[in-house]
Amino acid sequence: MILNSNLLEKMCAAYGPSGREHRIRQMIAEEIKDYADDIKEDAIGNLIVHKTGKGRKIAVTAHMDQIGFMLRSVDDKGRFRVLPLGSIKPLNMIDTRVRTETGEQGVVLCEKKSADTTVSCDDLYIEFGMNPKKSDSLDSFRGQEIVIKADYYENEEFIVSGALDDRIGCFILAEVIKKIKSCRNDMYFIFSVQEENGFQGIQSAISAVEPDLLLAVDVTCSNEELRGMKTDTSVGKGAALKVMDHFMIVCQEVIEWLKMTASENGIPYQLDISDHGGTDACKAQRYQGVKAGAVCVPAKNIHSGNEIVSKSDVAACLELIQTISDTEINF
């Protein structure tokens, strides 16, 4: 399967931290507008896309937001203190380049010595190279959100970029919407907001759709991460079907149905069993009583400017979601 690299690169480059997803939402809406039966934006900013079918109601979700920081305060030296947006690994952020929505670039620096591994976000600050004497100009940046400035690269096997969490999921949903001509199931594709900020956006969309099944499409940590995480999921071995993460245990019926669908259609898959991470699916199960699961793309270096995924895994997830749209739910 040949992936639409130009679209994925544009999605990864689009500004869109938690609560500020308007640019990526507009891009997605423009991309799929000619292929949807209905498109709605709810009050909090979720984009809900409907492809009509006569079967059971399935919601597939991917989150539009990316990790970042909010600029909290600025001192007389022009250094901005920050609050994290999402699960930030502070030590990994040191010397990372960041950007504002309007294009200003800065660098994440740290007060502690580089050998100190007990770094917290309180120790980080950002310098934009501005004159601290222009206090009014600097103060106007307070409350703005910034994201990692990252380059996009790919070869025959892998894609490297920032924001693949979860623009790769948004890409998969957009491509499936365009590929589906007709579907057995009544399909709702939800591009959600504020997932990185504690799954804040998805609940209102679930309430509006009331699906029989919800599947999140997101990245998941691979066993190459080597940071004390317990997982056997590997990059390059197929779609990762979630069994357990930090927030949920997937219903057995959902796991078996996904395994059956993948096996019968020759789609490579692996099981995603871990005690860390989470997806929007946990909200469906925990607060709405909806059966839920996740189809994930294994990734290295999650929440960095150099996230890595395999093209073959992306293709497997894309094919599985497309197949699900036309597969009867047996539970």
Helices (H), ranges, the chain: 5-13, 22-32, 90-93, 135-139, 164-179, 202-209, 252-264, 281-287, 311-324
Which range has the worst mean pLDDT, 6-10, 194-198, 239-243, 288-292?
288-292
Q: Whole-angstrom Cα distance, residue 277 to residue 279?
A: 7
Catalytic residue chosen out of the listed positions 195, 196, 307, 319: 195
End-to-end CA distance of the chain: 31
Of 304, 280, 279, 305, nearest to 150 by C-alpha is 305
- Position 289 scores a pLDDT of 82
Check residue 225 and give its pLDDT: 58
Q: Indicate if the pLDDT at residue 226 is higher than 60.
A: no
Average pLDDT over residues 188-194: 98
Would you say residue 229 has pLDDT above 80? no
> CATH 2.40.30.40: does it fit domain 68-148?
yes
May I ask the CATH architecture of the domain 5-66+151-325? Answer: 3-Layer(aba) Sandwich (3.40)
Rg (CA), the chain: 20
Q: Look-up: residue for tokens 């056997």?
A: 232
* Phi, psi angle pair for 273, to nearest 5°: -125, 115
Comparing CA positions, the residue from 192, 184, 246 lying closest to residue 212 is 184
**Statement: residue 150 has pLDDT above 90:** yes
User: Catalytic residue at 127?
Assistant: no
- DSSP letter string over 274-296? -SS---THHHHHHHS--EEEEEE
How much is the pLDDT for 139?
76
Mean pLDDT of 82-111: 92
Tell how far CA 326 is from the center of its chain.
Answer: 25
Q: How many whole angstroms separate alpha carbon 279 and alpha carbon 161?
A: 20
Alpha carbon separation from 54 to 82, 106, 176, 185, 206 (Å, rounded): 49, 51, 18, 6, 19
Max mean pLDDT among 90-94, 199-203, 267-271 falls in 267-271
- Give the pTM: 0.94
In the chain, where are the structural domains located?
5-66+151-325, 68-148
3 touches 309 (CB < 8 A): no
Q: In whole numbers, what is the pLDDT of the chain averaged over residues?
A: 92
Buried-state track 285-311, b at ≥16 Cβ within 10 A, e below 16: beebebbbbbbbbbbbbbbbbbbbbbb
Share of the chain above pLDDT 90, in %: 78
